[in-house]
Amino acid sequence: MNNEFFMNFVYIISSVLFAFGLKFLGSPVSARRGNMLSSLGMFLAVLATLCSGHIISFQWILIGIIIGASLGALVAFKAAMTQMPQMIALLHGCGALASVFVGWTAYQVHGVRDLTNAITLFLSIVIGGLTVTGSGIAWGKLSEKITGKPILFTGQKWLNGAIMTAILILGIMFIINPARYDLFLIILGLSLFFGIFMVIPIGGADMPVVISVLNSYSGVVACTTGFVIHNTLLIVVGSLVGANGMILSIIMCKAMNRSIANVLFGAFGSVVKKTGTDEKKEAKSISVEDAFLILENAKSVVIIPGYGMAVAQAQHAVRELSELLEGNGCDVKYAIHPVAGRMPGHMNVLLAEANIPYDQLMEMDAINPLMETVDVAIVIGANDVVNPASRHDKSSPIYGMPIINADKAKSVFVLKRSMATGFAGIENELFYYDNCRMIFGDAKQTLQALVAEFKSSQHR
């Protein structure tokens, strides 16, 4: 009894430390301290559990911890910042799988005690199961092992509906008669299946939402597992993580002006037909030399990065150019759209890695009122997030989506490989504006060419 009291007391301390960890993430200055406090909370919780008297044999624990911790450390140090989205997806999947196993063990050893136990166990394996395979597919899509395009087939919605109904019916049967081990296994299997079919129809650029939703689910699973094994700390942390994923999903959806249901079930980009190509306009291109002459005289430049910057690995070249511009007396800022990249905050991490100070990174709402005073906006590998059609063209699929108003700048340079459309599959009318010039080619090479121009002019 005393041990139990001690353990729960430490759990309270851990919860407080986790809460402080998240609170300190409110500012980049205190964030590292927060991470430290949070990991201290984790350490205490593990220690208290080990000393609680619940644990009789340590050998399997030791083996598990050694394997898990060393793999975790290896992956954490080796993963490149461009690979962060798939790393996060992998972590979601592992956390959910661990929760499923914990729930399963509890069922195997203790069976089901009461109705609450049966319901939470059911929820735990369903949400856990679909999070495991859903994260697996998301990981595959993000690391490009599976195509990033939506995978669609006829009857997909019917199949999903059928699986969902089956899970629900079997679930009710299981809750009524929780001794049915076969039902438990079938529900788990169906949920694993469902996770696959849930994520394959979702395209690459919608991944920020998918990752956030899976993040939320991984929290919910921890929470329901907490109900299964009557552990308060799991409930507290599960709710924190669940709330986290939910908030991020809402932010991402708002930034795309779409509902979560539309992202998860809509298969955007696949159904949209090409529109608005009635009159063929000519986009004007510009050479690197001429672009340099304009940049040399610019007093303020805003750089708008997108996923294309990450693909071209251009972030270091971007930093080099922006340092030269600043040396030339120009004010350089970065405008970051919430859904730029493949996960929330992806661009910020890439730019921070390239040693760009975070006070230069501006949010969309902060930069938009200033855009009219900007001399040059440089769009690097972004497309839909700067399409002005979203402001006025009611027929456009992205109508109403908040964008960075690149077109309001005095001149706009778009670094792009070709005139291919962005994720939404629609033409970007920005490219045909009078103040817009295209610089075709690989973004990294273009930036390096601009840097070379700057350097040679300084030697002259």
Partner 1 sequence: MELIYLLFILALSVFLGFALISRVPPLLHTPLMSEANAICGIIIIGALIAAGAEANSPLTIILGTSAVALAAFNVVGGYLVTERMLKMFKKKS
Residues from 396 through 435 that contact partner 1 (CB under 8 A) = none
- Contact between 170 and partner 1 by CB under 8 A: the answer reads no
Minimum distance from residue 159 beta carbon to partner 1 (Å): 29
Minimum distance from residue 189 beta carbon to partner 1 (Å): 16
- The three-class DSSP label of residue 413 is strand
The CA radius of gyration of the chain, in Å to the nearest whole number, is 25
CA angle 374, 377, 381 (to 5 degrees): 160
CB 85, CB 142: distance < 8 Å:
yes
> Cα separation of 64 and 66, whole Å?
6
Select from 74-82, 260-268, 391-399, 406-414 the region that touches partner 1 (CB under 8 A).
74-82
CB nearer to partner 1: pick between 102 and 439: 102
Residues from 203 through 222 that contact partner 1 (CB under 8 A) = 211-212, 215, 218-219, 222
Select from 70-78, 159-167, 292-300, 430-438 the region that touches partner 1 (CB under 8 A).
70-78
From its phi and psi, is residue 362 left (phi > 0), alpha (psi between -120 and 50) or beta? beta
Q: For helices 31-50 and 2-24, give the axis angle rounded to 10 degrees.
A: 170
Residue type, 110: H
Residue 252 phi, psi dihedral angles, 5° rounding: -65, -45
Q: In what order do the strands lie in the sheet with 436-440?
A: 361-363, 331-336, 300-305, 376-380, 411-416, 436-440
Minimum distance from residue 420 beta carbon to partner 1 (Å): 27
Residue count, binding to partner 1 (CB under 8 A): 109
Residue type, 349: V
Beta-bridged to residue 439, according to DSSP, are 415
Minimum distance from residue 235 beta carbon to partner 1 (Å): 5
- Contact between 181 and partner 1 by CB under 8 A: the answer reads no
Beta-bridged to residue 301, according to DSSP, are 332, 376
Return the closest-CA partner of residue 128 out of 261, 225, 231: 225
Q: CA 409 from chain center: how many Å?
A: 29
Residue type, 242: G
> Cα separation of 301 and 371, whole Å?
10
Select from 102-110, 142-150, 260-268, 418-426 the region that touches partner 1 (CB under 8 A).
102-110
Known active-site residue 384: yes
Minimum distance from residue 29 beta carbon to partner 1 (Å): 8
CA angle 5, 100, 114 (to 5 degrees): 60
Minimum distance from residue 63 beta carbon to partner 1 (Å): 6
Residues from 223 through 262 that contact partner 1 (CB under 8 A) = 223, 225-227, 229-245, 247-248, 251
CB 454, CB 321: distance < 8 Å:
yes
Selected catalytic residue, list 359, 384, 393, 442: 384
Select from 85-93, 275-283, 377-385, 387-395 the region that touches partner 1 (CB under 8 A).
85-93
- Contact between 324 and partner 1 by CB under 8 A: the answer reads no
Minimum distance from residue 93 beta carbon to partner 1 (Å): 9
| Site mask for partner 1 (CB under 8 A), range 344-373, x = bound | xxx-xx--xx-x-xxxxx-x----------
| Site mask for partner 1 (CB under 8 A), range 431-460, x = bound | ------------------------------
| Site mask for partner 1 (CB under 8 A), range 23-62, x = bound | x-xxxxx-xx-xx--xx-xx--xx--xx---xxxxx-xx-
Select from 63-71, 148-156, 165-173, 175-183 the region that touches partner 1 (CB under 8 A).
63-71
Annotated active-site positions, please?
A: 384
